[in-house]
Amino acid sequence: MEKRELIYEGKAKRVYTTANPDLVVQYFKDDATAFNAKKRGTIASKGVVNNAISETFFRLLEANGVPTHFVERLNEREMLVKRLQIIPVETVVRNIIAGSLAKRLGLEEGKSLPEPIVEYYYKNDALDDPMINQWHVTVLGMATAGELQTVTDLALKTNTILRPHLEQRGILLVDMKLEFGRHHGRILLGDEICPDTCRFWDATTRKKLDKDRFRQDLGEVEEAYHEVHRRLCAGT
């Protein structure tokens, strides 16, 4: 489907209208940012890799009862998706202590949690995406209580589906950031699911295979993204 007007450009993607008002095209860029765009760079072929990985995950989730915005992958860098009214809440599911959870609470990175933790963040780059709770979400009108419950349920279901799928391929799902939106009144999982939005560690060596390699100047950034792609998308 032909893309038309650019309606949004974010840190990792551009979004274009199509002839169908219910559908848009996501174009995946190679731009890399961290710390809410305070650090910028480029990861070669990142857009191609993230597009393919996201397609793999969206197809798996749809097959297991998680409704997503995915329609089809158009080419290496473009994906056709349902147009969403994005809920301005980033939902984070954590399985292993890492990142801001370790820093905020003084916890040791790498320790597995006895059960997943769900956190909410206000989607606002100018404010550095501050952490919020369910009261902020509902009282300030970001989503209704029912919508937030649906978001939470779908986030946990997504985690339940993706964790074993990744572990079978030698990857630990440490944590992930998910975004949801409304499509004709229905809550759908949107955005992307890839090394930009998840922490992936090798299950044996615990080598980081995600954007933390860019954030922390660990090197081998492109290699990590391509390794996740190889394990998840070989033969597709």
Which homologous superfamily is 6-82 in? Phosphorylase Kinase; domain 1 (3.30.200.20)
Identity of residue 67? P
Distance CA(93)–CA(85), nearest Å, equals: 22
Neighbour-count burial of 234, counting CB atoms closer than 10 A to its CB (0-12 exposed, 13-18 middle, 19+ buried) = exposed
The number of C-alpha atoms within 13 Å of 66 and in the hemisphere containing its C-beta is 24
User: Which residue, 77, 32, 79, 39, is CA-closest to 222?
Assistant: 32
Q: What would the pLDDT profile of 63-96 be if each residue is shown by its tens digit?
A: 999 999 999 999 999 999 999 999 999 999 999 9
Fold of the domain built from segment(s) 86-221: D-amino Acid Aminotransferase; Chain A, domain 1 (3.30.470)
Place of tokens 């394990």: 231
Residue 236 has pLDDT above 70, yes or no: no
The pLDDT score that the predictor gives to residue 42 is 87
The pLDDT score that the predictor gives to residue 40 is 83
- Residue 181's pLDDT band (cuts 50, 70, 90): very high
Name the pTM for this structure: 0.95
Fold match, 6-82 / 86-221? no
What mean pLDDT do residues 17-28 have?
97
Show me where the domains of the chain are located.
6-82, 86-221
